[in-house]
């Protein structure tokens, strides 16, 4: 009989940093790969109920690509909690005003809806433009 492997505490502390350039990459395809890295599915020690993932830095968020008619038709919704408080904003406007929201929302929806979601999203750093503030971590550049 084979025993189930559970990672030790010292295995969980070994976190890497990855850098992704979003220039011209399709949003949904990039979000899947980023979510898998945040969860740790790219590692042999992956365990669904533990945080085995790594950190991800995304640069050039304003140059992300949306396929088809998503730029005109896709809407982002939020609700104030009051009656009639539903607000909708088209993706074209969101891309101009807050391009980091498109990537963050796409990755958020690719993650499981449980208490670990916030932990995973805290490890995602999204920046507008080619500059970022995490040079000290020496991120490894990955091509998606």
CB 51 within 8 A of CB 120: yes
CA–CA separation, 98 and 14 (whole Å): 32
d(CA 108, CA 120): 9
CB atoms near residue 28 (< 10 Å): 14
125 in helix, strand or coil? strand
Asked if residues 119 and 38 have their Cβ atoms less than 8 Å apart, the reply is: no
pTM for this structure? 0.93
Residue 106's closest CA among 94, 116, 115?
94
The domains found in the chain, sorted by start residue, are: 16-66+99-141 (3.90.1180.10)
Taking Cα atoms as reference points, which of 15, 63, 68 lies closest to residue 43?
15
Per-residue pLDDT of the chain (144 residues; tens, 9 = 90+): 888 888 998 888 889 999 999 999 999 999 999 999 999 999 999 999 999 999 999 999 999 999 999 999 999 999 999 999 999 999 999 999 999 999 999 999 999 999 999 999 999 999 999 999 999 999 999 998
DSSP 123: T
Instruction: Compute the residue count for the chain.
Output: 144
């Amino acid at each position: 009989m084979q025993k189930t492997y559970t990672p030790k505490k010292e295995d969980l502390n070994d976190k890497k940093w990855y850098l992704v350039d979003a220039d011209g990459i399709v949003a949904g395809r990039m979000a899947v790969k980023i979510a898998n890295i945040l969860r740790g599915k790219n590692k042999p020690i992956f365990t669904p109920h533990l945080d085995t993932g790594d950190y991800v830095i995304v640069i050039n968020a304003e140059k992300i690509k949306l396929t088809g008619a998503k730029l005109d038709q896709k809407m982002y919704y939020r609700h104030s909690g009051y009656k009639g408080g539903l607000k909708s904003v088209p993706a074209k406007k969101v891309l101009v005003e807050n391009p980091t929201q498109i990537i963050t929302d796409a990755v958020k929806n690719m993650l499981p809806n449980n208490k670990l979601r916030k932990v995973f999203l805290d490890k995602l750093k999204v920046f507008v433009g080619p500059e970022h503030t995490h040079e000290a971590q020496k991120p490894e550049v990955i091509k998606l």
